[in-house]
């Protein structure tokens, strides 16, 4: 029997995403000036206020207020009527030193060779992390989530770069896409699209609702459709149910409308409800925290496995004990799509031989001790474009440091040949 599956996304102006972006901007600045920094930074945003809290071990000093204000300014909270504005909001910092009890299991004096370091650097916490990949889309992501992200990215592009096209958009927005699947898990059509966007005040609410709905359906959706390959464009149809700003007026939004916290959009950040999630958030954490680094590593494993032709869909789990380098275990579920005559347990053991999942090895393989995290903090950490970019960071003394970094290394298909060789594909 056919079934429906739904995923949602939120824009960079959503209050929880504002918090994530501030936390990751701090991570990037710490990494830029001291790559060995250990950081766990949480951010709370509400009407006219930002609160920074967390634990840090670093050799550098940052002007955290200036960094937070620049993030807020870039997102677009630059007008007093938003009741949360980059230049005027209060910023309180309660960041303090990292606990030595935690650090002792992560930071140990070791020899310079790779094996010694890899065996000595334990996981920053216990827990389990999941990676997922599917053939549904070109970037091996679930289709519903990919479409939900794309809708909001198009609206952000219009708001920031083409205001003459739709001039009333404000930063806060959410989207949701429901897709109908066949019994054999193949997308058949888009059933429902939900978009709620913050907007400027209108003189007439009824006119406002009609205008926003028409613009989303007639301007945004065709731009989204045009970005898809032909077979996915065919999923759009005249029978789609649209819910555009279904509650009506949405002028009050952002941190003034709802308090935001780092780490509250973990499903938006990953696979939109497909696969599984270990519960640990990403933003604000340096790569010694396996909540982040191992989630990236399992995505790397999953994507390369599917791309190599090992299976059509896969879920990969890894787990750790705090302070211990060797993972507690690797679990694999191929959902019956494996192309080799092996059980999922046998597949897991072979993948362990291809991918070194010790925390230090993950950091080195994926180049995680670099300022690469701000770009992850909106529109998902997975399924993004792997590219090399130049970034600039301004120190509190006014000095500017320019670095060249590789973004989204966990999206590279650089282990496809190794997977093929291991499984004889």
Same domain, 172 and 131: no
Whether 270 is covered by a domain: the verdict is: no
Any idea what the CATH number is for the domain that residue 197 is in?
3.30.300.10
Q: What φ, ψ does residue 13 adopt, rounded to 5°?
A: -90, -5
Same domain, 302 and 415: yes
Whether 68 is covered by a domain: the verdict is: no
Q: Are 421 and 309 in contact (CB under 8 A)?
A: no
Whether 231 is covered by a domain: the verdict is: yes
Whether 167 is covered by a domain: the verdict is: yes
pLDDT at 106: 62
Pairing of strands 400-407, 127-134: unpaired
Whether 399 is covered by a domain: the verdict is: yes
| DSSP classification of residue 375 | G
Q: Can you list the residues of the chain whose pLDDT is less than 50? A: none
Annotated binding site for L-methionine: 55, 98, 258, 289
Whether 244 is covered by a domain: the verdict is: yes
pLDDT at 45: 98
Same domain, 131 and 162: no
| Sequential DSSP letters for 185-227 | S-EEEEEEEEEEEEE---S-HHHHHHHHHHHIIIIIHHHHHHT
Annotated binding site for ATP: 14, 172-174, 249-250, 258, 264-265, 281, 285
Same domain, 220 and 293: no
Annotated binding site: 14, 16, 42, 55, 98, 172-174, 249-250, 258, 264-265, 281, 285, 289
Q: At 6, which helix (H) or strand (E)?
A: strand 3-10
Whether 404 is covered by a domain: the verdict is: yes
Q: Which of 252, 276, 304 is the last residue of a domain?
A: 252
Annotated binding site for Mg(2+): 16
What radius of gyration, in Å, describes the C-alpha atoms of the chain? Answer: 22
Same domain, 131 and 151: no
pLDDT in tens, 141-193: 999 999 999 999 999 999 999 999 999 999 999 999 999 999 999 999 999 99
Compute the Cα dihedral for 146, 151, 156, 158 and give only its sign. Answer: positive
- Token pair of 133, please? 């990949």
Same domain, 151 and 248: yes
pLDDT at 109: 54
Same domain, 370 and 349: yes
Annotated binding site for K(+): 42
> Which residues fall within 8 angstroms of residue 395, CB to CB, at 6 or more apart?
33, 60, 62, 401
Same domain, 316 and 363: yes
Q: Which of 225, 252, 279 is the last residue of a domain?
A: 252
Same domain, 160 and 190: yes
Whether 28 is covered by a domain: the verdict is: no
pLDDT in tens, 310-324: 999 999 999 999 999
Q: Which domain holds residue 309?
A: 127-135+289-423
Same domain, 131 and 174: no
Same domain, 312 and 242: no
Provide the β-strand partners of residue 131. Answer: 316
Token match 């920094």: residue?
Answer: 37
- Token pair of 142, please? 């679930």
Domains identified in the chain, total number:
2
Nearest CA to 396 out of 37, 86, 66, 93 is that of 66
Q: Are 66 and 58 in contact (CB under 8 A)?
A: no
Cα separation, 332 vs 15, whole angstroms = 35
Same domain, 246 and 295: no
| DSSP classification of residue 391 | E
pLDDT at 120: 85
């Amino acid at each position: 029997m056919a079934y429906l599956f739904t995923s949602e996304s939120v824009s960079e102006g959503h209050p929880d995403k504002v918090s994530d972006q501030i936390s990751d901007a701090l991570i990037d600045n710490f990494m830029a000036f001291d790559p060995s920094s250990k950081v766990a930074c949480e951010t709370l945003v509400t009407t006219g206020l930002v609160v920074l809290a967390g634990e840090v071990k670093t050799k550098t000093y940052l002007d955290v207020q200036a960094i937070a204000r620049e993030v807020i300014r870039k997102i677009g909270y630059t007008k007093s009527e938003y009741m949360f504005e980059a230049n005027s909001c209060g910023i309180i910092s309660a960041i303090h030193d990292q606990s030595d009890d935690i650090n002792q299991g992560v930071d140990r004096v070791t020899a310079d060779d790779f094996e010694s370091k890899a065996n000595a650097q334990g996981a920053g916490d216990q827990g389990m992390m999941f990676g997922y990949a599917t053939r549904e889309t070109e970037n091996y992501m679930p289709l519903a989530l990919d479409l939900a992200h794309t809708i909001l990215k198009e609206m952000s592009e219009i708001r920031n770069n083409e205001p003459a096209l739709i001039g009333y958009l404000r930063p806060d927005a959410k989207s949701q896409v429901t897709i109908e699947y066949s019994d054999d898990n193949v997308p058949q059509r888009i059933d429902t699209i939900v978009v709620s966007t913050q907007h400027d005040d209108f003189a007439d609410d009824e006119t406002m609702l009609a205008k926003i709905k028409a613009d989303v359906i007639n301007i945004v959706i065709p731009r989204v459709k045009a970005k898809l390959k032909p077979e996915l464009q065919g999923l759009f149809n005249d029978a789609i149910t649209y819910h555009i700003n279904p509650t009506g007026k949405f002028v009050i939004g952002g941190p003034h409308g709802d308090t935001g916290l780092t780490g509250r959009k973990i499903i938006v950040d990953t696979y939109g409800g497909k696969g599984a999630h270990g519960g640990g958030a990403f933003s604000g954490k340096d790569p010694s925290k396996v909540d982040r680094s191992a989630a990236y590593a399992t995505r790397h494993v999953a994507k390369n496995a599917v791309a190599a032709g090992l299976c059509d869909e896969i879920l990969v789990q890894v787990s750790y004990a705090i302070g211990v380098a060797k993972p507690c275990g690797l679990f694999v579920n191929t959902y019956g799509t494996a192309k080799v005559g092996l059980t999922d347990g046998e597949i897991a053991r072979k993948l362990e031989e291809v991918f070194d999942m010790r925390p230090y090895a993950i950091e080195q393989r994926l180049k995680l001790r670099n300022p690469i995290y701000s770009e992850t903090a909106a529109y998902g950490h997975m399924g993004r474009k792997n590219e090399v970019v130049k970034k600039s960071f301004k120190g509190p003394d006014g000095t500017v440091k320019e670095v060249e970094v590789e973004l989204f290394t966990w999206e590279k298909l650089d282990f496809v040949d190794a997977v093929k060789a291991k499984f004889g594909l």
